[in-house]
Structure 1
Amino acid sequence: MNIELRTIDRENMYDVIELQVADEQKKFVASNSFSLLQANYEVDMYPFAIYKDNELVGFVMYDLDDEIDMYGMCRLMVDKKYQNQGIGKLAIEKLFDVVREEHGNVKFYTSAEPTNTVALGLYEKMGFENTGKIVYDEVLMIKQL
């Protein structure tokens, strides 16, 4: 399986917006349209389309959060048709590579709602440590890249 992170542009923007998580996951992640709008108007937000073998399957975005003074993965979603295939894990690994290339071996955060046990479990498997802190109503997790 070949996973790539690609820039979002005029060619794939509408397709990224159309990606959907399962209904029970919608409470955990902002829509891709909101995320792209946010990235357009806020500084230091970096959105990417996730492709599996040249097929669009998800969305990921990282940012520089001024309040915690750290780069981190602020969005991750895999379309409901492509979940449970290991795509999220591979996309996170690709994102780690991008961040290391752009910013070096920095501390890197992510977060998830306390009830989102699937995301929290994935992030722990990816080496994120639970800080025990709640930021923006979510569990803050940190990994040294």
Structure 2
Amino acid sequence: MITLGLSDRAGRQVVLRDVDDENWRAVADVAPLDEQRRYVAALAARYLLLSQREGVWHSLAVCADDTVAGHVMWGRDEDGSYWLGGMVIDGPEQGKGVGRAAVLTLVEWLARRSDCAELRVSYHPDNTPAARLYTAVGFRPTGEVSDDEVVAGLRVVDGRPLAG
């Protein structure tokens, strides 16, 4: 379990857990709001399969107290940067601060790795909620584009993410 002691707006503790035999079905069923389906997979099950089959990504369940509220994954690129990807917060759980707490928790956890110098994320340029979230936690566009998505980075120095 990965936790920073962060809570959502309802006071539920947000933690990241390994996807396991007890929670994988709930994670697989996580679905975004209909209008977000052009930016993320319709179900988190797609991201679970990427983690399982490709060996690059590592899926985590986003939990608010004991409720699976979403999915996020991380991976390490050939250039040494760590990536956040596949974040989907279940439609009914959105707008409660769960996604922000999940991103902050994963950023802090990855930044503590001795080989982490940069964190990266990509998002569709029209996905303004994602852009606002990632900017709010310190990610800045790098000028790179990956599969029509904006690439944003966050430098890490001495185990701490440095915004801007």
TM above 0.5, one fold?
A: yes
Query: CA–CA distance in 2 between the matches of 1:124 and 1:86?
Result: 15
Q: The residue matched to 1:133 in structure 2 has which SS?
A: strand
| Aligned residue pairs, count | 144
Indicate how the Cα distance of structure 1 residues 107 and 135 shifts in structure 2: closer, same or farther if over 3 A, else same: same
- Contact 2:122 / 2:149 at 8 angstroms: preserved in 1? yes
Q: Which residue of 2 aligns with 1:18?
A: 29
Determine if the alignment matches structure 1 residue 5 to structure 2 residue 12: no
- Contact 2:80 / 2:115 at 8 angstroms: preserved in 1? no
Q: The residue matched to 2:95 in structure 1 has which SS?
A: coil
Normalising to structure 2: TM-score of the pair? Answer: 0.82
Query: CA–CA distance in 2 between the matches of 1:26 and 1:127?
Result: 25
Q: Which residue of 1 aligns with 2:97?
A: 86
Larger fraction in helix: 1
Determine if the alignment matches structure 1 residue 117 to structure 2 residue 117: no
What pairs up with 1:1-145 in 2 under 5 angstroms?
A: 1=7, 2-30=13-41, 31-66=43-78, 69-144=80-155, 145=161
- Point out where structure 1 has 5 or more consecutive residues left out of the alignment: none
- Contact 2:70 / 2:88 at 8 angstroms: preserved in 1? yes
RMSD (CA atoms)? 1.5
Query: CA–CA distance in 2 between the matches of 1:141 and 1:110?
Result: 5
Q: Which deviations, in whole Å up to 9, do the C-alpha atoms of 1:48-102 show, x marking residues without a partner?
A: 0011121110111011233x54211011111011101111110011101221234
Q: The residue matched to 1:15 in structure 2 has which SS?
A: helix
- Point out where structure 2 has 5 or more consecutive residues left out of the alignment: 1-6, 8-12, 156-160
Task: Give the fraction of aligned pairs with identical amino acids, expressed as a percent.
Answer: 28
- Contact 2:82 / 2:116 at 8 angstroms: preserved in 1? no
Segments of 4+ in structure 1 off by > 6 A?
A: none
